[in-house]
Amino acid sequence: MKAIPVEAGLILAGVLFMLGLISVLIRRNIIFMLISVEIMLNAAGLAFIVAGARWGQPDGQVMFIFILTMAAAEVSVGLALILQLYHQLQTLDGDAANKMKG
């Protein structure tokens, strides 16, 4: 019934990943950067599901669960950091935190 080629799934994951990558590179607002990272993580997880569906094993889904967990933890910690950054620098500019230059 299903006649979806594996490449299609993988290419979908690749395209989504690239879009997230572009967004990370061009955005200056930190929150938008975080959102872009979420897009990338989601795309990576999708690739795992496709792989698992190709072999008919639940391992891909297990991996996706792990990625999901990690993304959730990362978002919470990242948002806390963004809160601190906003509190210290009064701006959401990612370039404002450049004291480590040189």
Ranges within 34-93 binding other proteins (CB under 8 A): 34-36, 38-39, 42, 46, 49-50, 52-62, 64-66, 68-77, 79-84, 86-88, 92
| Contacts of residue 79, Cβ cutoff 8 Å, sequence gap at least 6 | 34
**Residue 40: both structure tokens together:** 């990338």
The identity of residue 19, as a single letter, is L
Least spacing, CB of residue 93 vs other proteins, in Å: 8
- Supply angle C-alpha 40, 43, 44, rounded to 5: 90
Cα separation, 1 vs 20, in Å, equals 32
Least spacing, CB of residue 85 vs other proteins, in Å: 10
Least spacing, CB of residue 40 vs other proteins, in Å: 10
Least spacing, CB of residue 16 vs other proteins, in Å: 6
Give the count of residues interacting with other proteins (CB under 8 A): 82
Q: Which of residues 13-32 bind other proteins (CB under 8 A)?
A: 14-29, 31-32
**Residue 89: both structure tokens together:** 């620098």
Q: Which residues pair with 29 in a beta bridge?
A: 93
